[in-house]
Amino acid sequence: MENKSQMREWLDDFGLSHPLVIGGPCSAETEEQVLKIAHELKDSDVTVLRAGIWKPRTRPGMFEGVGAIGLKWLQKAKEETGLLIATEVANKDHVKLAIEHDVDILWIGARSTVSPFIMQEIADALEGTDKIVLVKNPVNPDLALWLGGVERLYTANIKKLGLIHRGFSSYEKTKYRNNPEWQIAVEAQNKFPDLPMICDPSHITGKRDLIFDICQTALDLNFDGLMVESHWDPDNAWSDAAQQVTPTRLIQIMKDLKIRKESDHEEAYNTALNNLRTQIDIADQTILDTLGKRMLVAEEIGLLKKSKNVAVLQNKRWNEILGKMILEGKDRGLSEEFILKIFKAIHQESINHQEEVVNG
């Protein structure tokens, strides 16, 4: 992807205040709902109104969107408020209708990015147009698949491109609906610094209370924008009710976020430092989560040993673990001394947990 700098020109052309903020409901429900939300969001940091018209639902029988009629409501909202409009497209017919209705930004959903056939179909349908296209990460944590989707669009001469980070699904339940896996977004930014990166905290968290912190982390990682689902009556939304915030709340979130601007040398230094510190914080959090999980497994082993009346400390197994970790540590540039220290400490904590289970 040579000449990537073209990709972010659209963002600069907008002359919009940094960051770009996209707000609006998960789904367009009625004309009244779309217009009400648009009017509440105009004259704020939000410059683009989003609404899903065709909704990809995991299981059949749920609300699947109002269809093409919703594009008329979006158009009307644009006329009345001056907001740009954005919607999700998932096939060539959607693309055609969105273009006919003057949709400014088309985004590709996480369930479409996983499919090279769909990505190619969309890219072919867009060829020769001047549309801004944002590609959400695929549901699975696969950076190549994500960037592959962008490459298909770029090859079809779509040059106004961007990425939306909406988190990744995992079998394991966590506090998030979709795990952020920030390192994937950071790697995408490092590989393609000219591709604007927008965070979608709504689909990452699945819960409105967690949205602010995710927005702040995204801004600390130099993201270029935010896409936040917003509904005038979130609890009664027809889709994704738990994660939507009112327009008033979204406007307050934007006021409370710390937005760092790279205006001078000193600021550039601070921004870079902040970015790296945020990456350290994320890594530390992962270490803690993993240690917590390891201790839970150790406790289960304790219970098992108790039922068989087996001693907690098993030296042979422990020496095997240590030897393996020293070797693997070397591959990662970690000294033997460090590995010994850290794993001895982990092992001791595991023994303490097991003993508590066995004796307690």
The residue ranges that bind ligand PEP (CB under 6 A) are 26, 52, 56, 88, 109-111, 136, 166, 203
Q: Which is nearer to ligand PEP, 25 or 302 (CB)?
A: 25
DSSP structural state of residue 138: P
Q: Which is nearer to ligand PEP, 188 or 339 (CB)?
A: 188
Q: Does the protein bind Mn ion through residue 181 (CB under 5 A)?
A: no
- Among all chains, which residue has been given the structure tokens 């740009």? 84
Q: Is residue 358 within 8 Å of 305, Cβ to Cβ?
A: yes
Taking contact as CB under 5 A, which single stretch among the options 150-158, 233-241, 266-274, 297-305 is the one that binds Mn ion? 233-241
For residue 210, give the 3-state DSSP assignment: helix
Which helix (H) or strand (E) element contains residue 132? strand 132-136
Cβ neighbours of residue 18 closer than 8 Å, sequence gap 6 or more: 224, 259, 261
CB of 356 to Mn ion, least distance (A): 44
* CB 42, min distance to Mn ion, A: 21
Among 240, 253, 278, 358, binds Mn ion (CB under 5 A): 240
Pick between residue 233 and residue 349 the one whose CB is nearest to ligand PEP: 233
Q: Which is nearer to ligand PEP, 88 or 224 (CB)?
A: 88
> Smallest gap, in angstroms, from Cβ of residue 246 to ligand PEP?
17
Give the whole-angstrom CA distance, residue 153 versus residue 116: 11
Q: Which does 166 bind (CB under 5 to 8 A by kind): ligand PEP, Mn ion, none?
A: ligand PEP
The least distance separating ligand PEP from the CB of residue 10, rounded to whole angstroms, comes to 20
Residue 26 lies near Mn ion (rule: CB under 5 A): yes
CA distance 189 to 222: 9
Nearest-approach distance from CB 55 to Mn ion, in angstroms: 8
Q: Which residue number, 139 or 339, has a Cβ lying nearer to ligand PEP?
A: 139
Amino acid at 73: W
Helical ranges in the chain per DSSP H: 9-13, 31-41, 69-81, 92-100, 110-113, 116-126, 143-155, 182-191, 201-205, 211-220, 247-256, 265-308, 315-331, 336-359
CB–CB of 260/274 below 8 Å?
yes
Is 313 buried (19+), middle (13-18) or exposed (0-12) by CB count in 10 A? exposed
131 binds, among ligand PEP, Mn ion, none (CB under 5 to 8 A by kind): none
Min. distance of Cβ 335 from Mn ion in angstroms?
Answer: 47
For Mn ion, the closer CB: 110 or 158: 110
Question: Which residues of this protein are in contact with Mn ion, per CB under 5 A?
Answer: 26, 240
